[in-house]
Amino acid sequence: MRNLKMTIAFDGSKYKGWQRQKANDLTIQGKIEAVLSKMTEEDILLVGCGRTDSGVHAENYIANFHTKSALSTKRMLDYLYEYLPEDIVVKSLEDVAERFHARYNVKSKTYVYRINTHKFRDVFNRKYTYHLAEKLNLIEMRKASEVLIGSHDFQSFTNARNSDKSTIRTINFINIIDTEGLLAIEVNGNGFLWNMVRIIVGTLIEVGKGNIQPVDVERILNEKKRWEAGPLAQAKGLFLRDVQY
């Protein structure tokens, strides 16, 4: 039995996120599994590095699957490229050790959220960038982001329902990069709760607008109440950039 690791890029605009759903097959996992199963004549189960929300994109999403197929990775890649939709591309495919697990072996992930603060939206990039025609205070946003660095209980920064699962996560860094009115907010952490990155971004935007002060972010963390944090940023601006193992 082979264990194969794949790196995937996808435009999540029309999909219901990564995870396969019973009600429909409009998911990234569902689309790839269907093609793999047809190619190998086996029931293939993909293990992804994590869930992505509806409308979220990925530059380098990692998954793995087991197969008895003797096809070369090159032939598999060619097959996948031919039969997958044009908005999903498997960039690489390699045999890895049996113990490799795309989700359990993750050390950290890097997400990037893109914001266009110009007066007009970019008609060519409008599906992949949140348009906010407003000057944001980047100094205050960076101050607020520093509060989130480290290990914290991020219960205020998730839309997940109450459960017994831990809401403690570690943020390694948050970079806010301005390139002539095009903002990139990079967030790296050891794992993320449901909607966590989008709520962090929504909170930082509110800080940039002056509606939340940087000193309030620590209080928001301690309150552990979702409504204390900022709104959920639009999905279309978020990309999974990289996964570290």
Is-contact 28 17, C-beta < 8 A?
yes
Q: Taking the C-alpha atoms of 88, 129, 204 and 189 in order, what is their torsion angle to the nearest 10 degrees?
A: 20
Is-contact 36 46, C-beta < 8 A?
yes
Beta-bridge partner residues of 93: 6
Catalytic residue among 53, 95, 216, 242: 53
* DSSP strand pairing (2-10 vs 88-96): antiparallel
At position 38, the amino acid (one-letter code) is: K
What span, in angstroms and rounded, lies between the C-alpha atoms of 145 and 77? Answer: 40
What span, in angstroms and rounded, lies between the C-alpha atoms of 241 and 57? Answer: 9
Active site residue 53: yes
Q: Active-site residues: which are they?
A: 53
